[in-house]
Amino acid sequence: MLDKLKQIWKSKDLRSKMLFVGFMMVIFRVAAHIPIPGVNAGALQTLFAQNQVLGLFNVFSGGALENFSIVMLGVGPYITASIIFQLLQLVVPKIEDLAKEGGSGQNKINTYTRYLTVPLAVLQGYGTITLLQSASGASILDSNFTILNWIVALTVVTAGSIFLMWIGELITEKNIGNGVSLLIFAGIIAGMPSSLQNVFVNFDASQLPQLLGFAVIALLTIIGVVFITEGQRNIPISHARHHSAEGQKSYLPIRVNQAGVIPIIFAVSLVLAPGFIGQFAIQSGVVWLVGPGQWLVDTFNNQIVYGAAYFLLVFIFTYFYTAVIFHPDRIAENLQRGGSFVPGVRPGTDTQMYLKQVSNRILLAGALFLGAIAVLPLVLQAAVSGSLQNLAIGGTSLLIIVSVAIETVKQVEAQLLLRDYDKF
């Protein structure tokens, strides 16, 4: 490990890239503590202290949402825009053709994604402020919050989201890791010291067995995340155009967890929707909406119902999103064009069906794992008490931290390996 760090520091180019990425993360953390004018900070902190569900959104924003900062939306609008264009590739032939054009087509899709991020940031900013105002029960906005204040607030949070999108793309260009993922990673890491401080300041000796149990669970979770993240099925590929005694073979890797944390992000949005709709119905003043609204709120406040719905949605979206990004028909077509084939499987349609079948089988383990990771915070919060509940940052956070760390290390090692080759 120390040898790797020394190699990184000795490489001027790689050292500059690492320092640049660190500097961008510092800028992000500074921006996360600059609040929007006209906000009642006390009411906002009380709201997040009482609502564990909103805490998950706060994790993805790196604490910026709790501070009601200028980057309170995080990279959420950009992620949403990216997901929309990935889905449009399935239904819009022109966008699908762009995706097949290679680098030039992908650059056009990226440009369209940036344009879509702007209106999404405006809508999401308005929705987030309105929902927080509705859920607080006390006004989080100053009493003199006028239309002009609304315009300023929405302009600021939209600009903040675009700013983070720009920073994320700058980081990605350095080939040190995915910029968006690294920003989310930085936000989660930044919140861990305060959680640990709250635990040890209020620690009771009677909680020692729970603390040890939590440490064991966290260690097992990290091992599981690494195992699933690195797990893949290698399908042998033979190349008919290369003749030798045994033929030239290579492998097509299919990962167990192809969807990453995207299914969890999808599921969070949907599982929170009924509760927010219920709160709007209760506060609408319409008599016949109050009853159904209260039923929605009470139902999804039940941790068993919430956990079951959350797990099911993550499981479903894992298969759905994998179907969006994994195209066995294209892979089978490319193999056939290149004169390659899977041993024992006919090229074309048979290869496509075989790849789809293999993907669905190994995806079952990935979907079950993601579902278990998603509901892990609920289990931990029910099992521990007192200040230890602050440690239940959740399996989702661990999944992001470990996945981003693995990907970043791989990219850094790849650049070190490239430099070793250049010496010869």
Per domain, the residue ranges of the chain are: 1-131+139-203
The arithmetic mean of pLDDT across residues 185-189, rounded, is 82
pTM for this prediction: 0.77
pLDDT at 242: 54
The arithmetic mean of pLDDT across residues 340-355, rounded, is 89
Average pLDDT, the chain: 79
Task: Flag the least confident range among 28-37, 334-343, 414-423.
Answer: 414-423
Please name which of 129, 132, 128, 110 lies closest in space to residue 179, comparing C-alpha atoms: 110
Contacts 24+ apart (CB under 8 A), 151-155: 152/37, 153/36, 153/37, 153/38, 153/125, 153/129, 154/122, 154/125, 154/126
Is the pLDDT confidence value at 245 over 50? no
Is the pLDDT confidence value at 369 over 50? yes
Comparing 17 with 61, the larger pLDDT belongs to 17
**Separation CA 94–CA 82 (nearest Å):** 16
Do the Cβ atoms of 195 and 390 come closer than 8 Å?
Answer: yes
Is the pLDDT confidence value at 244 over 50? no
pLDDT at 115: 93
Is the pLDDT confidence value at 354 over 90? yes
pLDDT at 80: 81
Task: Flag the least confident range among 263-277, 327-341, 345-359, 398-412.
Answer: 263-277
The arithmetic mean of pLDDT across residues 224-238, rounded, is 86
Is the pLDDT confidence value at 398 over 60? yes
pLDDT at 355: 92
CATH superfamily of the 1-131+139-203 domain: SecY subunit domain (1.10.3370.10)
**Separation CA 159–CA 170 (nearest Å):** 16
Is the pLDDT confidence value at 162 over 90? yes
Q: Calculate the CA 195 to chain-centre distance.
A: 21
Is the pLDDT confidence value at 13 over 90? no
Q: Provide the token pair at 313.
A: 């949605």
Is the pLDDT confidence value at 2 over 50? yes
